[in-house]
């Protein structure tokens, strides 16, 4: 078996079963001219002769690639910041896309059921802890100034540390539960330095895998949430709504996108319904324009909101009530998505509401088409 890889330097990452290797190939010069720092490609090579180039959807450097413990999938963190993270199967097909964020490292738990995406080094230490069996976000702790990360062999606890010589100030370590709670903290005195910290090793299988919990475990260590720096706002703008003006638009995980199946072609039935809906909208618009410019609608009183739903849409009070409730739910989901876009951590039930958006939109469309 042989696959030619053009590179000035390669990094090889074998899976635990030694059945396949991932090769990060780096060149000093990017011939396309897209990057001054050269380019990187990711290759999959199996011992049975199979090989492939892993297609990474975002251009930029490859920060980290890790195998899960069962050697059935791997996660890659790549692309110009904010970086993307994607899980691939052994056919090099994407299994789950975590969107983009401030991250440059990935760590599977010893049992492979939890994945931590983190941004260390020149990033602020933000972590995302994911249940990768159900692809649900568990917690988003922040370990500022961390230079070291390690899973405990029990698959429940995490160690982060700030060590010399990378950083010579604020040295120390923290023990976390994966739900985000700090269970133990040790700060080195200012006249000393911490050089290394590690878990006691255990043989595989000593600690059985436990069911994942989403509720933060209790802790006696006071949690100090790091203050998030906010952009300066002139006094004249401080009482006005904040507008979203980000340098880089972050992409949410695939299960939190507004329309998860948008990239797939519509079925014949869905396409037919869509055309009917568009034709009905066009007919209504034409009917309004036929009324002429002399029929000017009277402005609504100040006490009544402008977006008030008409008293009767279909003539059936039950259908009107359902449409009204659906629109309320969709408006609430839109507000949750705006909160998530600003970086606010949502609760489990709020994330589940966002995931129901597609079904609610379809239900609303069906009701409106039936008018």
Q: What is the pLDDT of residues 177-207, one digit of tens each?
A: 999 999 999 999 988 899 999 999 998 888 9
Q: How many CB atoms neighbour CB 194 within 10 A? A: 20
Q: Which two tokens stand for residue 242?
A: 């904040």
The tokens of 34 are what? 């897209």
Closest C-alpha among 126, 1, 26, 154 to residue 78: 26
3-state secondary structure of 274: helix
Instruction: State whether the Cα torsion 101-102-104-108 is positive or negative.
Output: negative
Quote the distance between the C-alpha of residue 273 and its chain's center.
32
CATH architecture of residue range(s) 9-187: 7 Propeller (2.130)
Q: How far is CA 287 from CA 295, 315, 370, in A?
A: 13, 19, 19
Closest to 179 (Cα-Cα) out of 133, 130, 143, 228: 130
Is the model's pTM score more than 0.85? no
Tens-place pLDDT, residues 272-308: 566 666 666 666 666 655 555 444 444 444 443 444 4
Low-confidence ranges of the chain (pLDDT < 50): 1-2, 228, 247, 260-266, 293-312, 371
Q: In whole angstroms, what is the distance from residue 193 CA to residue 188 CA?
A: 7
Those residues whose C-beta lies under 8 Å from the C-beta of residue 91, and which sit 6 or more positions away, are 52
């Amino acid at each position: 078996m042989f696959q030619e890889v053009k590179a000035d330097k390669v990094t090889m990452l074998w899976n635990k079963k030694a059945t396949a290797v991932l090769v990060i190939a780096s060149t000093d010069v990017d011939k396309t001219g897209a990057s001054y720092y050269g380019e990187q490609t990711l290759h999959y090579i199996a011992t049975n002769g199979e090989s492939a180039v892993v297609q990474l959807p975002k251009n930029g450097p490859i920060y980290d690639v890790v195998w899960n413990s069962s050697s059935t999938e791997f996660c890659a963190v790549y692309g110009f910041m904010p970086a993307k993270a994607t899980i691939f199967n052994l056919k090099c097909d994407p299994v789950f896309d975590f969107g983009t964020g401030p991250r440059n490292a990935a760590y599977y738990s010893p049992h492979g059921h939890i994945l931590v995406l983190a941004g260390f080094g020149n990033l602020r230490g933000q972590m995302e802890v994911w249940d990768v069996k159900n692809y649900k976000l568990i917690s988003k702790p922040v370990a500022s100034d961390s230079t070291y990360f390690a899973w405990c062999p029990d698959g429940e606890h995490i160690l982060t540390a700030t060590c010399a010589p990378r950083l010579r100030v604020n040295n120390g370590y923290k023990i976390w539960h994966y739900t985000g709670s700090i269970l133990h903290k040790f700060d080195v005195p200012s006249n000393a330095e911490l050089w290394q910290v590690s878990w006691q090793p255990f043989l595989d299988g000593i600690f059985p895998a436990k069911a994942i919990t989403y509720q933060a475990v209790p802790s006696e260590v006071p949690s100090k949430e790091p203050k998030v720096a906010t952009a300066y706002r002139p006094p004249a703008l401080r009482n006005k709504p904040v507008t979203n003006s980000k340098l880089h638009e972050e992409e949410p995980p695939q299960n939190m996108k507004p329309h998860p199946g948008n990239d797939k072609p519509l079925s014949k039935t869905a396409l037919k319904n869509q055309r009917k809906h568009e034709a009905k909208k066009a007919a209504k618009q034409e009917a309004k324009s036929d009324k002429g410019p002399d029929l000017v609608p009277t402005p609504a009183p100040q006490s009544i909101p402008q977006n008030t739903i008409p008293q009767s849409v279909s003539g059936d009070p039950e259908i009107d009530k359902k449409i009204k409730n659906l629109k309320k739910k969709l408006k609430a989901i839109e507000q949750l998505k705006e909160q998530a876009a600003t970086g606010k951590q949502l609760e489990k039930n709020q994330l589940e509401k966002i995931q129901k958006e597609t079904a609610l939109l379809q239900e609303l469309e069906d009701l409106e088409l039936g008018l």
